[in-house]
Amino acid sequence: MTETSQFVFRYADIRESGGLNVKLAPPPAAFADAFDSPETLKKLRLELDFSVGGESILLEGKVYAELELVCSRCADPLARAFEDSFDEVYPDSLEYIDTREVIRETVALLAPMKVLCSEACKGRCLVCGANRNSKVCGCRPDMGSQFGALKDLKLIKPDKPGRKDSK
Ligand SMILES: [Zn+2]
Ligand SMILES: [Zn+2]
């Protein structure tokens, strides 16, 4: 290893100094590949706390990230902050401690399977695709869906469209 990135540490250095605590604010691009979309990761902060044991070094890490996600109901983008922590043990046989893998894994798991812009999100009209949070489109459910792109959005709930029998 010729180039030591900010996520790679020399084992002997940490052992000699009896531990290490670092705070990093890497460019999100460094871990953008943790997500399907490279735009998901907006901000990232890391805290890495190494403590020296008898025959190993323990890393306790914290990850703080701001993610840009998509509402599961209305498909609007939303930004939200997440944090998580992780532990990893590195055996004495190592020359370098490369933290990139465990950081990437932790970052990748930050995004929930389902996220809503608001608990009260009304989703989208199944007929015309209008965002029902911001627009009353007046479609009737029996008009049938002409909005093919939304077929993939499984979480839409057609909650009682305002059916007023006015002619
Ligand atoms: Zn929404
Ligand atoms: Zn509509």
Closest ligand to Cα 121: 1
pLDDT digits (tens, 9 = 90+) for 80-130: 999 999 999 999 999 999 999 999 999 999 999 999 999 999 999 999 999
Contact 99/5 with Cβ under 8 angstroms? no
pLDDT digits (tens, 9 = 90+) for 131-161: 999 988 989 877 655 555 455 555 555 555 5
Contact 48/17 with Cβ under 8 angstroms? no
Contact 87/60 with Cβ under 8 angstroms? yes
CA of 119 to the centre of ligand 1 (A): 8
- pTM for the model stands at 0.76
CB atoms < 10 A from the CB of 122, how many? Answer: 18
Q: Where are the domains of the chain?
A: 8-108, 122-167
CA of 155 to the centre of ligand 2 (A): 17
Q: Give percent of the chain with pLDDT exceeding 70.
A: 82
Contact 145/129 with Cβ under 8 angstroms? no
Alpha-carbon torsion, ordered 112, 118, 122, 125, to 10 deg: -60
